[in-house]
Amino acid sequence: MNTKRLLSLVLLGMIIVLPLLTTSCFKKGEEDPFFSIYTRKARVTGEWTITDMKSVIKSTYEETDQTLTTTTVTGLDWNQTVEILGAEDSIVEIEGVVIDGRNKITFYSDGRFVQIWEYDYSVIEELNEGETTFTTIYKVQEEMNGTWNFLNNIDDFKNKERLAIVIMENKSKTSVYTLTVSEADETIPVPTFLTSYGTSEKYANGEMSTIWTLRMLKNKQIIMEQNVERFTFVTDNGIGESLTEVGYVEKTLKRD
């Protein structure tokens, strides 16, 4: 093989290999693979299913009343525990279910994102030693959209180790149904619609930003974490109320 042809093959090999050896392909998060043939943007882009979640939030109302809310999702099982801190017998446990196919988040290559999240949960009350059961059913629909981007190496974080998710619109609707079951019933009872309420909020670009650390970023799986520290002050007819929330959220995303 002559020298000219050998040089051409070496250059061709460099053209093929060098794009794969960018820093974007190497490990960033704690549980990242050491190396991936996909760039970090390619690994994030696409439609994902939210398969697992854990949220632990301590809320303080008016600097006095405090609650600790723990929400966990495993597959389609949704569970929540609410504890009023400083009070006895103040723990409420709620079980629910995530709606299959409505637990999605999509990161588009042009920087947009859309999240759809729907779940149902029930609160049960029994009377007359279980002869009559009153069940209140809550059907929750949440949707948000906005933009996403990687953050640079700020503080102790590596370049593209974190995501900035900017929420532009956040909508929520809760429909409430009641179901009464008595031992004397001769027919199968059906839920009765009671009421519905919802919110719809739009934000200026950058007004509502959330920062997520990518603990694991693979082509088929993402584990992302967020530290929560929020303060809200709402005024209604001249009366103000404050709410402080601190805690963390962890999500696992998977795709086919």
* 95 part of a folded domain: yes
Mean pLDDT, rounded, of the chain: 86
- The span from the CA of 77 to the CA of 73, in Å, is 6
* 112 part of a folded domain: yes
| Bigger pLDDT: 74 vs 64 | 74
pLDDT band at residue 87 under the 50/70/90 scheme: confident
* 108 part of a folded domain: yes
Considering the entire predicted model, what is its pTM? 0.80
Close Cβ partners of 61 (under 8 Å, ≥ 6 residues apart): 67, 241, 242, 243
Structure tokens that stand for 59 in this block? 């809320």
Q: Tell which residue, 255, 190, 187, 246, has the closest CA to residue 38.
A: 255
Range of the domain at 102: 37-254
* 21 part of a folded domain: no
* 26 part of a folded domain: no
* 177 part of a folded domain: yes
- The span from the CA of 202 to the CA of 197, in Å, is 17
pLDDT in tens, 14-38: 444 444 444 555 556 565 555 568 8
* 247 part of a folded domain: yes
The number of distinct structural domains making up the chain is 1
